[in-house]
Copies of this chain bind each other. A is one copy, B any other.
Amino acid sequence: MLQKFDFEVPTQGRGTYDLTGQIDRFLETSGVSDGLCHIFLRHTSASLIVCENADPAVKTDLEAFIARLVPDGDKIFSHTAEGPDDMPAHVRSVLTHTELSVPIRERRLDLGTWQGIYLWEHRASAHRRKITLTVLSG
């Protein structure tokens, strides 16, 4: 069986946003106790990651690392019409993930103890990001 859920996540610019609880609420609704949850982000300037969920410094360090790896305003980029953070956002998206699948157990994402699912906003300004969940069950 296959169910779909669409939702939006408002962001306040660059940074990570925990989606784990929100997805778990959809899974509760789905009634699926055992299955697979596919998470799809409908954008190319933000991404999805599975990340450590305990120490906020992990996410700050991740942001510092990627900002150094893919610098805003890099002279190598020609696609600059939307600003110095536009092309870096596309590169960050390609180097991380647009979609993820996670097992479902007991109507929840069956993650490891230290795992959370995060939306990573790569643009400097606030956006509304659209996500489609596909819930597969036996």
Residues of B with C-beta under 8 A to A79: 55, 57-58, 61
Q: In this complex, what residue of B is CB-closest to A77?
A: B61
Per DSSP, chain A at the interface is: mixed
Contact with B along A105-135 (1 / 0, CB 8 A): 0000011111100000000000000101010
Residues of B with C-beta under 8 A to A81: 55
CA–CA, A4 and B44, complex, Å: 27
Interface contact A94-B62, CB-CB below 8 Å:
yes
CA–CA, A74 and B62, complex, Å: 12
Cross-interface CB contact of A98 among B1, B57, B90, B100, cutoff 8 Å? B100
Contact with B along A84-109 (1 / 0, CB 8 A): 00010011011111111111000000
Query: In the complex, what's the smallest C-beta–C-beta distance from A73 to chain B, in angstroms?
Result: 13
Interface contact A42-B115, CB-CB below 8 Å:
yes
CA–CA, A93 and B96, complex, Å: 10
A9 at interface, CB cutoff 8 A: no
Residues of B with C-beta under 8 A to A95: 95-96
